[in-house]
Amino acid sequence: MDKQSGKDFERPQYKKLVRRLKKDDLLYIKSIDRLGRNYGEILEQWRVLTKKKGIDIVVLDMPLLDTRRGKDLMGTFLSDIVLQVLSFVAENERTNIRQRQAEGIAAAKAKGVRFGRPPRPLPENYYNAYQQWKAGKITGTAAAKKCGIPLSTFRYRAEIYEKAKLL
């Protein structure tokens, strides 16, 4: 059972499964979008599994995608068409999900929602150290050490403070 997203085939459990499969094995897949979400990769994996490995695949929610039946030319043709359509739908759905996610994030940011961990409060002596650093009395490294924070954090917060003063 694979619990990772089907966005690609770089999934450890999937790779392990493919290594273990041998000729005439039967692979059940709940839905084609559980196999993958990339049109070209789904078609390629299907070809590898059915042609190279010689296994049969049954897609439970799409009876037309059962390689045990219809091994004649017409059955293979129908399976290929259905596989291509469903692969396209799976990739298209992934694209739509990403677009809706981006729109939702943009709408949330427009409403003022902040993402990520809230910033830690500054040490009480930060402004004193900042003023000494700004006046050139101490280095940035010394000021950061005095506050007990990394130099990058000291500089980052100094930049925010300077922008706030300009507003």
User: Is the sign of the CA dihedral 5, 91, 83, 10 positive or negative?
Assistant: negative
**Of the candidate ranges 36-45, 100-109, 111-120, 148-157, the one whose mean pLDDT is the lowest:** 36-45
CA pair distance 24, 49, nearest whole angstrom: 10
Q: Which range is most confident: 55-64, 66-75, 123-132?
A: 123-132
What confidence tier does 4 reach under pLDDT thresholds 50, 70, 90? low
Residue 96: CB partners within 8 Å, gap ≥ 6?
A: none
Quick: pLDDT tens for 19-32.
999 998 999 988 87
What tens digit of pLDDT does each residue of 129-167 get?
999 999 999 999 999 999 999 999 999 999 988 888 765
d(CA 7, CA 3): 12
- Of 102, 159, 97, nearest to 134 by C-alpha is 159
